[in-house]
Structure 1
Amino acid sequence: MAASPAPSKPASLFRLDGTEAETLVSLRPEQVSVDTAVDLSGTPARLVAGAFHTEVPQWIPHAASLTGSELDLSAELPFAVLLVPRPPWTYAVTWGAGHLALNDEHVEQGFGLMFGIRRLDPFDLGLIASAALDASARATQISIPGGGDLSAFRLEPYGELVNRLAGAADLTELTYGRVTGKRYRIRVGNALWVPLAKEPRAFLADLDAVGAVVDEPDRDSALRFIAQTRPLDRHHRLLPTLEDRLAGALGGEENGALGLAWPATAVREAEHAGSFRVTGLGAGGPFTVAGRLDLEHLTGRLATLDAEKRVKALRAGRVVTCADDAGEEESGAAIPAAKWVVFETTIDHVRYVFHQGRWYRIGETYVEQMRAQVAALLARRYPWPEVKWTPSGEPDDEHRYCRKVAREPGFLCLDKDFATTPLHPRFELCDLLGPGGELIHVKWLGRATAASHLYTQALVSAEALRDEPDALAQLAAKAAALDPARVVTDPPGTVVLAAAGRSWHVDELFTLSQVALLRLDRAVRALRAELRFADIPYAPKSRTRAKAAKRRR
């Protein structure tokens, strides 16, 4: 006996706001072969289908010059989109390249994820794609073809922005689940890839069922933590309020925490930059900052603008690192000034963060749990000698301080003494080697966001010393050169972060700095070492000394 036909077929489902005319991008007449109204059991819908033409790839001449073969690889990408209004939303079912026809500004961000959080089996996941919400912006995709539980994907408990999931799901409410009694391996992100009924009335019922699942509470889901941190879409109702608060902070108002944060793509260049050239940041023309870039260099220019123009100017401005003091030898790409700024504010017990040029929502429960863990972590103290750091305003200020500490018994100064390994061509093993062989990394943290490169330095050093014999040999040689009696045979078991300019306290760190710190602690523990913290006694920076130092540079 022949099997009965499947009641459903998988397709990509999106949910959009706005009018029907706004949901699609502008399509040229030659791209559209069908644009017609359709009736779905009494519900008016719209079907748009056609093909996108792809141009000849830019790499064709290279391939032809090497092989002598002429290649004609232009092609047509067929697409179809079915728009179904189910107020207050419009659902879009896409086939082929149909997703390219949707107006991304009106696509509900994370729609598919919200369904997946409520219906995916946390013990039978096949894929998780995520990005780190910190200075690294690291992107990761882990696949387990046979399926695995959530713990097998080793997600960070904090600061992991999940973008896509795949796995077995309970589809009891949909036609497929009711008819077959089986689960189905769905894919979720901004879209939901799921079997939808082929018969119109059942299809509409499936859309309503999906919407009901997305709108139900997620308190019983093991995956609910995914929704704790989400990017805001461009039409979020609070976006104007958030942009106004950011504009006020750029002008000096105390309505949230504002700081300077190095973009993920510029951490290395910024660490070694001789100057920074800033262009397009409002009126006044380009300018160059010798030495370190401070937040005031950006806000000083933006504060002169009307409040409603500041955020636009921040997004239009560009910052490029330069190797020289005069801003003439570029060492990195021009990066939007908005990616150099981080801002946090709270509305109705929810934390919102402006990071890498985009807004994110962070749930209050998430923040409270993270603060408790960070507070416990910062309680691991390292005793620091009574050596005061009095800033001189000179570029080698940190090195001068490390040399002062090295006069204390057992401390060795390795600041600016770089190591080289196959995996790490140039890095600092530490700024100071402690009496017990501790790796000590020293920084002046003038702002709450300034810790990210300190974390990076500590992690690179710990990983190199644990994984690369060359690094350990170089540490032993450098220590013996400074003190012949000092013998280093094993990777140090303690990593110390020593800071001046602010204390190691949870209230002194941005949310994203706390995220990065918890991630660093996990990584260091995985390397069989312990993270400890030291508050350096210091004198506040003098603006007079800083200005004099800038004039000398």
Structure 2
Amino acid sequence: MPVSTTCKPVSVYRLEGGRELADYLGPVEDDVLFDGPVIINGIEGRQVLGTRETDRPAWADQVESLTGLALPELAGRQPWTVVLLPVGEWTFALTFGGAHHLLNDELVDQSFGLSYAIRRLDADRLGTVARAALDATARQIQTSFPGGGDLGAFGLEPYGEMVTRVAGSADLSDLTYGRETRRKHQIRAARSLNLPMSSSPAAFTRDLETLTTIVDEPDEHSALRFWAQTRPLGKRHPLLPDLERRLAKALGGDADAGPLGFAWPHNAIREAESADSFKLRRAGRSPVVFTREDGLEAIVGRLSLLNPRERIRLLRDASVTPCEDVEGQYQLRNQIALRKWISFETEIDHSTYCYHQGEWYRIGEQFVEQIRSQVAELLTHRADLDLPTWVPTGKQDDEHRYCELVAEQAGFVCLDRDLAKTPFNRRLELGDLLGPGDQLIHVKWLFQATAASHLFVQAGSASWSLRAEPEALEQLRAKVRAADPERELKAPSSVVLAVAGRPWTVEKLFTLSQIGLLRLNAEARFLDTKLEFAEIPFLDKKTAKQMRENAA
């Protein structure tokens, strides 16, 4: 039964305070009907009211072509308004009709909405949770329960997922709506909050003050507090200048600034996996073509010639294109900004900061310590394998050559490059080797710290397919029978990650790579699979190159 209330839903943003009200809005290109001061409960604010002209929709021509009927005029005008009001140390923006696009994003408090949700959402009546993975996949997932569900129903992972948007039943007893109705209400939260606010000026400003009080409360009591463990930094975060200076040093070749890696953008993982070369553009007079193994060296080599400020600018302006040939002549997709290909990590005041997919993230001290402790314990699970020394050949197919070398030993089968095909995976790499105890072995030369993330993704994809797709397991069995007709494989006994180039230690892995490893282990346990590790004896690439030159 409806209840009487003075409140109506509104989208509320919180912005950095102390600025001229004009600073909070970007250029307004729409038709402005009003732009001037307003007074709300004695506080002077600013309101901008306008309309946006909408064009004839792009689909209209196709519909007319298919149906043969002329559509009426579909262009129109959409009204919008934004109200800016300084309250306390902050300035609040109320947006209607899509006016959020006018806000100066650099001044928006990026954590405001989610911080309120953590403190007031009912963890047993969540409606929607959207999250993004902070690893090589950068996948995004939204889960919704129309009738509401408890926290456990959403399958949230304890590591490496950043909650980006939520909706659910919230306790609004501190606000006018709660006092008037004595009811909870369905709110939506991300950067902003969408919730019922009073239409009374005095009550409205009190509600804004209350929102700030709630967001500043401790969150120890909340079952949702882990959502705040990994958060993006705002565009004007006070640490950004220091973080960018450290990144600039790393891009110039300073190893002490923090670990730097050549990563793969989430929207180009398939192309990057199959690319034989990459082309760096707009980072000098001529493009630079490089392989995945020497990518970081090539990028740092070009950027180290510039001053630190220019390095950060080129990180934004330069681009990388994956190519299907060694010479970089045939691109697999369009150019992608260089910033999407770089990963970096540094520590300030016991907190870890990661540069990932072109954005900065903060990972809390306790969270990092917990991750490292669990990864250190996991890495003690070593496989009982006798692997030969990997001597780099300097060839593009170096990994395949090593797998063939291992397969010369009794009990090993080379699977590298022998791809499977299933209804859900047209090109599936089940593994690189099968061991004498039916271990499914994934092999990688860890030429840099970020390379481990791609190994984890490959191993996870293969494990899921072998469990969920009968075709994948049957094709694996067929490959084993083809190599050894007397051998009958029931199912792999374990999954082994075998690496050369660097040892399996916590210190040699990016924090985001460690997050990916914990996720892989959780998947392996769910699939009733044992995850093990092996270190391949190797000759470093510099020594191997010198040996080849001497032999020639």
Decide: shared fold, TM above 0.5.
yes
Secondary structure class of the residue paired with 1:70: coil
Query: What amino acid maps onto 1:115 in structure 2?
Result: Y
1:285-434 equivalences under 5 Å are 285-289=286-290, 292-434=293-435
Moved more, 320-329 or 300-309: 320-329
Query: What amino acid maps onto 2:159 in structure 1?
Result: Y
Structure 2 counterpart of 1:224: 225
Of 259, 273, 276 in structure 2, the residue corresponding to residue 274 of structure 1 is 276
Q: Distance in 2 between matches of 1:441 and 1:241?
A: 39
Q: Contact 1:291–1:395 at 8 Å: present in 2 too?
A: no
Structure 1 counterpart of 2:183: 182
Q: How has the CA–CA distance of structure 1 residues 110 and 514 changed in structure 2, closer, same or farther, with 3 Å as cutoff?
A: same
Query: What amino acid maps onto 1:98 in structure 2?
Result: A
Secondary structure class of the residue paired with 1:427: coil
User: 1:338-396 deviations in whole A, cap 9, x for unaligned?
Assistant: 11110001111111100011111111111011111111211211022051111111122
Alpha-carbon distance, 1:193 to partner = 0.8
Secondary structure class of the residue paired with 2:4: coil
Secondary structure class of the residue paired with 1:428: coil
Q: Distance in 1 between matches of 2:139 and 2:329?
A: 30
Secondary structure class of the residue paired with 1:27: coil
Q: Contact 1:276–1:293 at 8 Å: present in 2 too?
A: no
Structure 1 counterpart of 2:59: 59
Secondary structure class of the residue paired with 2:257: coil
Alpha-carbon distance, 1:546 to partner = 8.9
Secondary structure class of the residue paired with 1:127: strand
Q: How has the CA–CA distance of structure 1 residues 251 and 171 changed in structure 2, closer, same or farther, with 3 Å as cutoff?
A: same
Structure 1 counterpart of 2:525: 525
1:16 and 2:15 aligned:
yes
Alpha-carbon distance, 1:427 to partner = 2.1
Structure 2 counterpart of 1:197: 198
Alpha-carbon distance, 1:535 to partner = 0.9
Q: How has the CA–CA distance of structure 1 residues 384 and 493 changed in structure 2, closer, same or farther, with 3 Å as cutoff?
A: closer
Alpha-carbon distance, 1:291 to partner = 6.7
Alpha-carbon distance, 1:287 to partner = 2.2
User: 1:245-281 deviations in whole A, cap 9, x for unaligned?
Assistant: 1001111221111111122222222222222111001
Q: Distance in 1 between matches of 2:270 and 2:547?
A: 26
Q: Distance in 2 between matches of 1:265 and 1:100?
A: 25
Query: What amino acid maps onto 1:268 in structure 2?
Result: R
Secondary structure class of the residue paired with 1:419: coil
Alpha-carbon distance, 1:516 to partner = 0.8
Alpha-carbon distance, 1:209 to partner = 0.2
Q: Structure 2: which 5+ residue stretches go unaligned?
A: none
Secondary structure class of the residue paired with 1:418: coil
Structure 2 counterpart of 1:497: 497
Q: Distance in 1 between matches of 2:546 and 2:288?
A: 18
Q: Contact 1:31–1:52 at 8 Å: present in 2 too?
A: yes
1:92-241 equivalences under 5 Å are 92-241=93-242
Alpha-carbon distance, 1:408 to partner = 2.4
Structure 2 counterpart of 1:463: 464
Q: Distance in 2 between matches of 1:534 and 1:318?
A: 36
Q: Distance in 2 between matches of 1:547 and 1:117?
A: 59
Q: Distance in 1 between matches of 2:75 and 2:178?
A: 41
Structure 2 counterpart of 1:438: 439
Q: Contact 2:288–2:298 at 8 Å: present in 1 too?
A: no
User: 1:296-354 deviations in whole A, cap 9, x for unaligned?
Assistant: 11000000001111011121111111111221111122111111110001111111100
Q: Distance in 1 between matches of 2:20 and 2:547?
A: 56
Q: Contact 2:21–2:45 at 8 Å: present in 1 too?
A: no
Q: Distance in 1 between matches of 2:202 and 2:542?
A: 73
Q: Distance in 1 between matches of 2:92 and 2:546?
A: 58
User: 1:414-469 deviations in whole A, cap 9, x for unaligned?
Assistant: 11212112211122221111112111111101111111221122122112211222
Alpha-carbon distance, 1:3 to partner = 8.2
Moved more, 291-300 or 197-206: 291-300
Alpha-carbon distance, 1:525 to partner = 2.0
Q: Contact 1:493–1:528 at 8 Å: present in 2 too?
A: no
Query: What amino acid maps onto 2:483 in structure 1?
Result: L
Alpha-carbon distance, 1:397 to partner = 1.5
Query: TM-score scaled by structure 2?
Result: 0.95
Alpha-carbon distance, 1:290 to partner = 5.1
Moved more, 313-322 or 463-472: 463-472
Structure 1 counterpart of 2:49: 49
Secondary structure class of the residue paired with 2:451: coil
Alpha-carbon distance, 1:548 to partner = 8.2
Moved more, 441-450 or 407-416: 407-416
Query: What amino acid maps onto 1:460 in structure 2?
Result: S
Of 257, 264, 267 in structure 2, the residue corresponding to residue 265 of structure 1 is 267
Alpha-carbon distance, 1:524 to partner = 2.1
Q: Distance in 1 between matches of 2:424 and 2:216?
A: 48
Q: Distance in 2 between matches of 1:386 and 1:192?
A: 56
Q: How has the CA–CA distance of structure 1 residues 5 and 414 changed in structure 2, closer, same or farther, with 3 Å as cutoff?
A: closer
Alpha-carbon distance, 1:202 to partner = 0.7
Q: Distance in 2 between matches of 1:463 and 1:214?
A: 41
Q: Distance in 2 between matches of 1:160 and 1:335?
A: 24
Say what the alpha-carbon RMSD is for the aligned residues: 2.0
Q: Distance in 2 between matches of 1:260 and 1:446?
A: 10
Q: Distance in 1 between matches of 2:8 and 2:502?
A: 59
Secondary structure class of the residue paired with 1:507: helix
Q: Structure 1: which 5+ residue stretches go unaligned?
A: none
Structure 1 counterpart of 2:477: 476
Q: Contact 2:105–2:235 at 8 Å: present in 1 too?
A: no
Query: What amino acid maps onto 1:235 in structure 2?
Result: R
Q: How has the CA–CA distance of structure 1 residues 546 and 312 changed in structure 2, closer, same or farther, with 3 Å as cutoff?
A: farther
Q: Contact 1:393–1:546 at 8 Å: present in 2 too?
A: no
Q: How has the CA–CA distance of structure 1 residues 3 and 142 changed in structure 2, closer, same or farther, with 3 Å as cutoff?
A: closer
The number of residue pairs the alignment matches comes to 546
Q: Contact 1:80–1:95 at 8 Å: present in 2 too?
A: yes
Structure 1 counterpart of 2:32: 32
Q: Distance in 1 between matches of 2:337 and 2:109?
A: 26
Q: Distance in 2 between matches of 1:547 and 1:335?
A: 38
Moved more, 166-175 or 127-136: 166-175
Alpha-carbon distance, 1:116 to partner = 0.5
Q: Contact 2:406–2:412 at 8 Å: present in 1 too?
A: yes
Q: Contact 1:384–1:535 at 8 Å: present in 2 too?
A: no
Q: How has the CA–CA distance of structure 1 residues 3 and 108 changed in structure 2, closer, same or farther, with 3 Å as cutoff?
A: closer
Q: Distance in 1 between matches of 2:175 and 2:547?
A: 68
Alpha-carbon distance, 1:543 to partner = 6.8
Q: Distance in 1 between matches of 2:94 and 2:160?
A: 32
Alpha-carbon distance, 1:220 to partner = 1.8
Identity %: 49
Q: How has the CA–CA distance of structure 1 residues 429 and 177 changed in structure 2, closer, same or farther, with 3 Å as cutoff?
A: same
1:507 and 2:500 aligned:
no
Q: Distance in 2 between matches of 1:346 and 1:337?
A: 23
Q: Distance in 2 between matches of 1:428 and 1:88?
A: 55
Moved more, 171-180 or 363-372: 171-180
Alpha-carbon distance, 1:4 to partner = 7.1
Query: TM-score scaled by structure 1?
Result: 0.95
Q: Contact 2:280–2:321 at 8 Å: present in 1 too?
A: yes
Q: How has the CA–CA distance of structure 1 residues 133 and 546 changed in structure 2, closer, same or farther, with 3 Å as cutoff?
A: farther
Alpha-carbon distance, 1:201 to partner = 0.6
Q: How has the CA–CA distance of structure 1 residues 3 and 370 changed in structure 2, closer, same or farther, with 3 Å as cutoff?
A: closer
Query: What amino acid maps onto 1:271 in structure 2?
Result: E
Q: Distance in 2 between matches of 1:472 and 1:113?
A: 43
Query: What amino acid maps onto 1:259 in structure 2?
Result: G
Query: What amino acid maps onto 2:11 in structure 1?
Result: S
